[in-house]
Structure 1
Amino acid sequence: MMHEWNDLANEFQDDLSRARVIATTEGPGLDYASGGNAELIRQSGSALTSTLYERAVYCRAMAAKIQAALGKYATAEETHSTEINQTGGSL
């Protein structure tokens, strides 16, 4: 599951480079309409860039939490196995 979160973060990261292109769009002409449309597209690209970045960060944080939980689980399992073996029991 940790790898899936990292894979998703990587996809968001890949999309982020494409969103930056949108965020830096220039109008095709010097007229008011071209400039106005380009500004709206840049604003949209900027919002998309921010959202993709935040989602990538969230996914990486989730992967880190899962990794930490797995580490704690493995440690607890090892501790309990050792305790059971010391009392003469078996798993």
Structure 2
Amino acid sequence: VILDKLASTAAVKADLTRLGELLSRIKQAERRFPDLPLGTVVAHIDAYRKTPLPDEYQRKLTGKKVVLDDLLDLSRQQGAAISGALAAIGAVQNEIDRRTS
């Protein structure tokens, strides 16, 4: 749910706490179920966490305190990481479905 929300909006530094909580839960699941490919989900979320936009980036952008190219690069990285995380989550869910049906 958090990833779906972040997929439709840019993540700012204030979002990192919620993302850290999500990542902690996924790591717990990874330890409980080491045969599921949860490591790829963790890797993509880690990559996403490394690309937050500055808080209030829209205001800073209009005040020309932030370089547009930097924001665009971070946004592209966020998009790639979130897409990868969602695909990895889909793969894990498919594996769970395969095992439980």
Q: TM-score interval w.r.t. the shorter chain?
A: 0.3 to 0.5
**Which of structures 1 and 2 has the bigger CA Rg?**
1
More helix by share: 1
* TM-score (ref. length: structure 1): 0.45
